[in-house]
Chain A
Amino acid sequence: MSKEALHKNKKQLDHVVIRFVGDSGDGMQLTGTQFSTSAALLGNDIATFPNYPSEIRAPQGSLYGVSGFQVNIGSNEISTPGDDLDLLVAMNPAALKTNIKDLKPGHMVIVDSDAFTRSNLQKAKYDSNPLEDGSLSNYNVVPVPMTSLTREALKDTGLDSKSMTRSKNMFALGMLYWLYSKDPKYTEEFLKKKFKNKPEIVEANIKALKAGYHFADTLELMPTHYVIGPAKKEKGTYRIIMGNQATAWGFMAAAKKAGLDLFLGSYPITPATDILHELAKWRNLDVIAFQAEDEIAGISSAIGASFAGKLAITTTSGPGLALKGEALGLAIMLEIPLVVVDVQRGGPSTGLPTKTEQSDLMQAMYGRNGESPAIVIAAKSPADSYDMAFMAAKLTLEHMTPVILLSDGYIGNGSEPWRIKTLDEMPEIKTYQITEYVEDFHPYKRDPKTLARPWAIPGTPGLEHVIGGLEKDKVEGTVSQDPLNHEEMVKLRAEKVRKVKDFIPPIEAEFDQEGDLLVVGWGGTYGSLKTAVKKYREENPDHKVGLAHFSYINPLPHGVADLFSKYKKIIVPELNMGQFADLLCMNYPQFDYIKYDKVQGLPLSSEELIKEFKKIIKDA
Chain B
Amino acid sequence: MTTNIKYTFKDFASDQDVRWCPGCDDYVILRSIQKALPQIGRKKEDIVFISGIGCSSRFPYYMDNYGIHGIHGRAAAIATGTKLANPDLSVWVASGDGDSMAIGGNHFIHAIRRNIDLNYVLFNNEIYGLTKGQFSPTSLLGQKTKSSPYGNVQAPFNPGELAIGAQAKFFARAAGNDAKLQTKLYIEADKHKGLSLVEILQNCVIFNDGAYKDITDKSVKEDAQLVVEHGKPMIFGKNKDKGLVLDGMKLKVVKIGENGITEDDILVHDAKEKDPTLHLALVNLKEPVVMGVIRAVDDKTLEDREAEVTEYAKKVNPIKSFEELLFSGQTYEVK
A310 to B89, CA, bound (A): 14
For window 55-86 of B, CB contacts with A under 8 Å fall at 60-61, 63-71, 74, 77-86
- Cβ of A263 and Cβ of B84 under 8 Å apart? yes
What class of interface size applies to chain B in its complex with A?
35 or more
A249 to B321, CA, bound (A): 12
A470 to B88, CA, bound (A): 28
- Cβ of B84 and Cβ of A37 under 8 Å apart? no
> Given A304-B80, A308-B89, A459-B89, 4 other A-B contacts at CB below 8 A?
A239-B327, A288-B85, A297-B80, A304-B79
Residues of B within 8 A of A306 (CB): 81
Knowing A308-B85, A308-B86, A467-B68, the reply to whether A422 touches B334 (Cβ < 8 A) is no
A283 to B78, CA, bound (A): 21
For window 227-241 of A, CB contacts with B under 8 Å fall at 233-240
A216 to B320, CA, bound (A): 44
- Cβ of A297 and Cβ of B45 under 8 Å apart? no
> Which of B130-138, B197-205, B229-237, B310-318 lies at the binding interface?
B310-318
For window 449-482 of A, CB contacts with B under 8 Å fall at 458-470, 478-479
Q: How far is the CB of B1 from chain A (nearest CB, A)?
A: 8
B4 at the interface (CB under 8 A from A): no
B169 at the interface (CB under 8 A from A): no
* Contact with B330, one of A37, A294, A467, A478 (Cβ below 8 angstroms): A37
- Cβ of A310 and Cβ of B45 under 8 Å apart? no
A466 to B92, CA, bound (A): 13
Knowing A41-B330, A423-B323, the reply to whether A300 touches B69 (Cβ < 8 A) is no
B43 at the interface (CB under 8 A from A): yes
A2 to B94, CA, bound (A): 87
B218 at the interface (CB under 8 A from A): no
Knowing A240-B330, A423-B323, A466-B61, the reply to whether A288 touches B82 (Cβ < 8 A) is no
B331 at the interface (CB under 8 A from A): yes
11 A-B pairs with C-beta separation under 8 A: A239-B331, A252-B325, A300-B80, A301-B78, A301-B81, A302-B81, A304-B79, A310-B85, A312-B85, A326-B71, A479-B61
A572 at the interface (CB under 8 A from B): no
A465 to B65, CA, bound (A): 6
- Cβ of A236 and Cβ of B84 under 8 Å apart? no
A330 at the interface (CB under 8 A from B): yes
Knowing A290-B80, A300-B74, the reply to whether A420 touches B334 (Cβ < 8 A) is no
Residues of B within 8 A of A159 (CB): none
B147 at the interface (CB under 8 A from A): no
Closest to A239 in B: B331
* Contact with B77, one of A40, A234, A301 (Cβ below 8 angstroms): A301
A347 at the interface (CB under 8 A from B): no
- Cβ of A283 and Cβ of B84 under 8 Å apart? no
- Cβ of B78 and Cβ of A300 under 8 Å apart? yes
A10 to B313, CA, bound (A): 50
- Cβ of A293 and Cβ of B86 under 8 Å apart? no
* Contact with A305, one of B84, B321, B322, B333 (Cβ below 8 angstroms): B84
* Contact with B45, one of A236, A281, A463 (Cβ below 8 angstroms): A463
- Cβ of B322 and Cβ of A301 under 8 Å apart? no
- Cβ of A466 and Cβ of B309 under 8 Å apart? no
- Cβ of B70 and Cβ of A330 under 8 Å apart? yes
- Cβ of B335 and Cβ of A235 under 8 Å apart? yes
- B-to-A contact residues, CB < 8 Å: 14, 16, 43-46, 48-50, 53, 60-61, 63-71, 74, 77-86, 88-89, 106-107, 110, 306, 309-310, 313-314, 317, 319-323, 325-327, 329-335
Q: How far is the CB of A384 from chain B (nearest CB, A)?
A: 16
Q: How far is the CB of A570 from chain B (nearest CB, A)?
A: 36
Residues of A within 8 A of B14 (CB): 466
A452 to B53, CA, bound (A): 26
- Cβ of B74 and Cβ of A327 under 8 Å apart? yes
* Contact with A301, one of B67, B84, B86, B313 (Cβ below 8 angstroms): B84
Residues of A within 8 A of B69 (CB): 466-470
For window 209-264 of A, CB contacts with B under 8 Å fall at 233-240, 249, 252-253, 256, 261, 263
- Cβ of B45 and Cβ of A303 under 8 Å apart? no
A292 at the interface (CB under 8 A from B): yes
A284 at the interface (CB under 8 A from B): yes
A25 at the interface (CB under 8 A from B): no
Closest to B87 in A: A308
- Cβ of B322 and Cβ of A297 under 8 Å apart? no
Closest to B302 in A: A290
A290 to B111, CA, bound (A): 13
Closest to B314 in A: A284
Q: How far is the CB of B332 from chain A (nearest CB, A)?
A: 5
Residues of B within 8 A of A468 (CB): 60-61, 67-70
- Cβ of A423 and Cβ of B322 under 8 Å apart? yes
A536 at the interface (CB under 8 A from B): no
Residues of A within 8 A of B323 (CB): 422-423
Closest to B114 in A: A293
A433 to B145, CA, bound (A): 47
A124 at the interface (CB under 8 A from B): no
Residues of A within 8 A of B85 (CB): 261, 263, 288, 304-305, 307-310, 312
A283 to B319, CA, bound (A): 11
Knowing A235-B334, A282-B325, the reply to whether A466 touches B86 (Cβ < 8 A) is no
Q: How far is the CB of B115 from chain A (nearest CB, A)?
A: 14
A334 at the interface (CB under 8 A from B): yes
- Cβ of A459 and Cβ of B46 under 8 Å apart? yes
Knowing A283-B310, A468-B70, the reply to whether A458 touches B82 (Cβ < 8 A) is yes
A12 to B43, CA, bound (A): 73
- Cβ of B84 and Cβ of A288 under 8 Å apart? yes
Q: How far is the CB of B303 from chain A (nearest CB, A)?
A: 11
Closest to B83 in A: A304
A386 to B160, CA, bound (A): 47
Knowing A283-B309, A459-B89, A464-B66, the reply to whether A253 touches B81 (Cβ < 8 A) is no
Closest to B50 in A: A304
- Cβ of B322 and Cβ of A238 under 8 Å apart? no
Residues of A within 8 A of B331 (CB): 237-239, 420
